Amino acid sequence: MYGAPSGDFTLHDDQVRLCRLDEIPDGAARGFRLRDAAGREVRIFAVRRGATAYAYLNRCPHRGTPLDWTPDHLLDAEGRHLVCATHGALFRVEDGVCLAGPCVGDQLVPVPLALVDGVLHAPAELED
């Protein structure tokens, strides 16, 4: 499922609830804090595009910093691309590929989402 948009999947015990899809305004993003297998915090975010959403680790492939300066502000002024606040790299929402900036061609790490009864779920433990 990596790299794929969310869809209607079977919910497993190893998935955690993020939020209802409609709690993310269409075209906007929202950050979440999960845990890896060692219990360390892992930051992710989800971007809504209509009836689907895309999620990635909140870590720029250039320097490893979070993309957002302030919580949930992850998109450029037009709301078209994800933007890294540190050096301004732009990433395509649908696959996380960097289109402009110092890490062109690199990719954000996708997080598989499941959409079950209108609620977004992510793996309970992410590999960091």
Q: Site residues (CB under 6 A) for ligand FES?
A: 60, 62-63, 65, 84, 86-87, 89, 101-103
Here the tokens at position 90 are 């732009």
* Closer by beta carbon to ligand FES, 52 or else 86: 86
Written as one letter, the residue type at 96 is G
d(CA 7, CA 53): 8
Q: Are residues 52 and 1 in contact, defined by beta-carbon separation less than 8 angstroms? A: no
Q: How far apart are the first and last CA of the chain?
A: 17
d(CA 21, CA 52): 8
Q: How far is the CB of 18 from ligand FES (least distance, A)?
A: 24
Q: How far is the CB of 65 from ligand FES (least distance, A)?
A: 5
* Closer by beta carbon to ligand FES, 86 or else 107: 86
* Closer by beta carbon to ligand FES, 37 or else 99: 99
Ramachandran angles phi, psi of 38, nearest 5°: -90, 5
Q: How far is the CB of 95 from ligand FES (least distance, A)?
A: 17
* Closer by beta carbon to ligand FES, 68 or else 121: 68
